[in-house]
Structure formats: structure tokens, C-alpha cells
């Protein structure tokens, strides 16, 4: 089995984190699991404070913090994992930055383009996007009964959903990414989603 760097993407409520945990349980020691933003980088605390609303900051500053956090993640987590593990799975990557912070479609595309052209950014071998209806995502988030972060407010979630649909539209994927992108139905049974990812990454499982 060749080393693979796999990114799992999707808006809040898509079941992304649950899926990542299921992959880890299935693959065990043959994979490493990471999540962005990280919890260990020098920027991690400040990012969490901004997202939770405890600290107010310009979006341009938040975007720069995410870049610094991502570069730290690549150096300390992703690259070392790629050297020793068969599979590295990342919960969110620069696609999330574009979806959650892009002001409009042009800004979304510009963010993606900057990350693709940046030689310091490790590009994935494969991306899976969990596509979910906005109303279902909202109901799932509300059912958590947790404090809502700034990006989980309903008006912003609609914009985030639109940005994701732009990023993972057939035309944009075809013209932008050199790696395969798979769109998954987040409304399918969790075990079916899990198996589809396994079939595309480790067919022997």
C-alpha cells in the first residue's frame, strides 16, 4: 500500500468528524489522524478564541493565523506522518479556509489558487467532500446543544455552503485540482460512506 495523504472536507453537521473517527477505528495503526485548525501550534489558542467569539479580530488576521497554523501542521504533523504512515487523514484543510472565509466566489478561487501555488503547502493525494443539504446541517448543529462558533450561525452557514459548492463543482475541480476529488452523499448511511472511502483508498480492507 502506498502512502496516501487524504483530506476529509464538509461543513459543520455533515458528519465529517464522526467519519474520521470511524476511519481511525477501522484502519488502526496504519493511519494517523489530524485536524485543522490544530490544538498545538502557537496560533491555536488565538484561533479558538476568535472562532468562539471570545476575541474580536479582522478576518484578514484570522486568515493569516490559519496559514501559520497550517504551515506548523505540515512541518510537525503531516510531513512526519507521511514518512512513517501508510495513510495520513486530515479533518479539514485549505478548502475549509476558502469555504469559511471566502467573501465571494472570486475570493474563494483566489484562496485556493494561492494554496495550490505555494510550494510550502503539501497537496493531498485525494479529497473526499461530504455534501449535505443546508437545512439538515443546521438541524444537526442545533441538536448538539453546544455553544455555536461564529462560523456556525445560520446566515453564515448558507454562504459557507455556497462556497463549498463552488469549490467542489465539476468545472472548478476539473480545471483546478491535480488530485482526485470525490463527492459523497452525507445523507447516506455512515457505514456506506465509510466503505466507499475504504474502497477508494485501501481496497483490501
Condensed to tens digits (0 to 9), the pLDDT of residues 131-156 reads 999 999 988 888 876 655 656 677 88
pTM: predicted TM-score of the whole model, two decimal places: 0.91
Confidence of residue 2 (pLDDT cuts 50, 70, 90): low
DSSP state for residue 78 in the 8-state scheme: I
CB 124 within 8 A of CB 7: yes
What angle do helix axes 105-117 and 94-101 make, rounded to 10 degrees? 160
Q: Which domains does the chain have, with CATH numbers?
A: 4-201 (3.40.50.300)
For residue 191, the SS3 value is helix
Whole-number average pLDDT of the chain? 90
Amino acid at each position: 500500500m502506498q502512502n496516501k495523504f487524504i483530506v476529509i472536507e464538509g461543513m459543520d453537521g455533515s458528519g465529517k468528524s464522526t467519519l474520521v473517527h470511524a476511519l481511525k477505528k477501522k484502519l488502526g495503526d496504519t493511519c494517523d489522524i489530524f485536524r485543522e485548525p490544530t490544538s498545538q501550534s502557537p496560533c491555536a489558542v488565538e484561533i479558538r478564541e476568535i472562532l468562539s467569539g471570545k476575541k474580536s479580530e479582522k478576518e484578514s488576521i484570522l486568515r493569516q493565523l490559519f496559514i501559520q497554523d497550517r504551515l506548523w501542521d505540515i512541518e510537525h504533523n503531516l510531513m512526519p506522518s507521511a514518512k512513517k504512515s501508510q495513510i495520513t487523514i486530515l479533518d479539514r484543510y485549505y478548502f475549509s479556509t476558502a469555504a469559511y472565509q471566502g467573501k465571494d466566489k472570486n475570493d474563494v478561487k483566489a484562496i485556493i489558487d494561492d494554496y495550490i501555488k505555494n510550494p510550502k503547502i503539501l497537496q493531498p493525494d485525494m479529497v473526499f467532500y461530504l455534501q449535505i443539504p443546508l437545512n439538515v446541517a443546521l438541524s444537526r448543529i442545533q441538536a448538539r446543544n453546544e455553544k455555536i462558533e461564529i462560523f456556525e450561525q445560520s446566515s453564515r452557514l448558507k454562504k459557507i455552503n455556497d462556497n463549498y459548492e463552488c469549490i467542489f463543482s465539476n468545472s472548478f475541480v476539473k480545471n483546478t485540482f491535480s488530485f482526485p476529488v470525490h463527492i459523497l452523499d452525507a445523507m447516506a448511511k455512515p457505514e456506506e460512506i465509510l466503505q466507499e472511502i475504504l474502497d477508494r483508498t485501501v481496497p483490501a480492507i
